């Protein structure tokens, strides 16, 4: 899942330092800063492609980082298609990436964030 990371933290801002949270991304623990967006945390952890276009099935990744492109959509705590660049990571948050069209029949009760 995690390919080579295109991004890294500046020195002194490594995830793992004081003030990080543990987010489950596709079942694996990824440490992220709660001061930055989920999309930033994913990119810095080497997770670039985060969804599959439901039209052409191509891989898509965050593009604008400010909520206008809708490319960074991931499943958060059972809720599909949340814009990761607008979400603050929290301890225990469960993120699923590479979803195309969500399945409603498999919908779980959403956990309230």
Partner 1 sequence: MNNNTHSSDVIVIGGGLVGSSVAYGLLRQGLSVTILDGADDTIRPSRGNFGLVWVQGKGFGMADYARWSFGSARQWPALRDELQAQTGIDVELMQPGGLHICLSEEEMAQRVDKLRWLESEVGDPAYRSTVLSRDEAAEHLPGLGPEVAGATYSAMDGHCNPLKLLRALYSANIAKGARIHNRMQVDAIRKDGGIFHVSAGERAWQAPRIVIAAGHATQQLSAMVGMFVPVRPNKGQVFITERVQPFLTHPTNYVRQTDEGTVQIGDSMEELGFDDMVRVPVNARIAARAVKCFPVLANARVVRTWAALRVMSPDGFPMYQESDSHPGAFAVTCHSGVTLAAQHVFCIAPWVATGLRPAAIEAFPATRFTPETEVKPYGI
Partner 2 sequence: MSNPAIPLNDAPSQLRDLVVIGAGPAGMAAALAAQRRGLDVLLLDEQPQVGGQIYRSITQTDAQRERILGADYVYGKSLADQVRASGLTHWAGASVWQIDPDKTVHVLRNDRTTRIETKSLVIATGAMERPFPVPGWTLPGVMTAGAGQILLKNAAVVPQVPVVLAGCGPLLYLLAAQYLRAGVEIRAVLDTSAGTDWRLAIRHASSLLAGWGYVRKGLGLLREIKSAGIPFFKDVGGLRIEGEDAVRQVRFTSAGHSQQIDCELVLLHQGVVPNTQVSWSLRAEHHWDDEQLCWLPVLDSWGQTSLPGIYIAGDGAGIGGALVAEMQGALAGIGVANSLGFGTSEDGAQQRAQIAQHLRIRPFLNQQYRPKDEFRIPADEVVVCRCEEVTAGAIREQVQLGCVGPNQTKSFSRCGMGPCQGRQCGLTVTEIIAKEANLPPQEVGYYRIRPPLKSLSLAQLAAGV
Binding site for partner 1 (CB under 8 A): 54, 78-81, 100-105, 107, 110
Phi, psi of 54, rounded to the nearest 5 degrees: -70, -5
Residues 10, 33: contact at Cβ < 8 Å? no
Question: Within its chain, how far is the Cα of 73 from the centroid?
Answer: 8
- Bridge partner list, 22: 31
Residue 107 Cβ vs partner 1, minimum distance, rounded to whole Å:
5
Q: 17 or 86: whose CB is closer to partner 1?
A: 86
3-state secondary structure of 53: coil
Give residues in contact with partner 2 (CB under 8 A): 3-13, 33, 35-37, 40-41, 43-44, 48-49, 53, 55-56, 58-71, 73, 79, 81, 85-86, 88, 109-110, 112-113
């Amino acid at each position: 899942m995690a390919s080579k990371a295109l991004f890294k933290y500046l020195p002194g801002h490594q995830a793992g330092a004081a003030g990080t949270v543990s987010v489950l991304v596709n079942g694996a623990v990824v440490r992220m800063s709660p001061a930055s967006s989920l999309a930033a945390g994913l990119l810095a952890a080497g997770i670039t492609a985060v969804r599959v276009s439901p039209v052409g099935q191509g891989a898509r990744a965050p593009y604008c980082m400010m909520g206008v492109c809708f490319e960074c959509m991931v499943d958060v705590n059972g809720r599909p298609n949340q814009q990761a660049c607008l979400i603050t990571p929290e301890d225990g948050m469960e993120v699923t990436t590479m979803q195309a069209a969500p399945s409603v029949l498999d919908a779980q009760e959403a956990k309230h964030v």
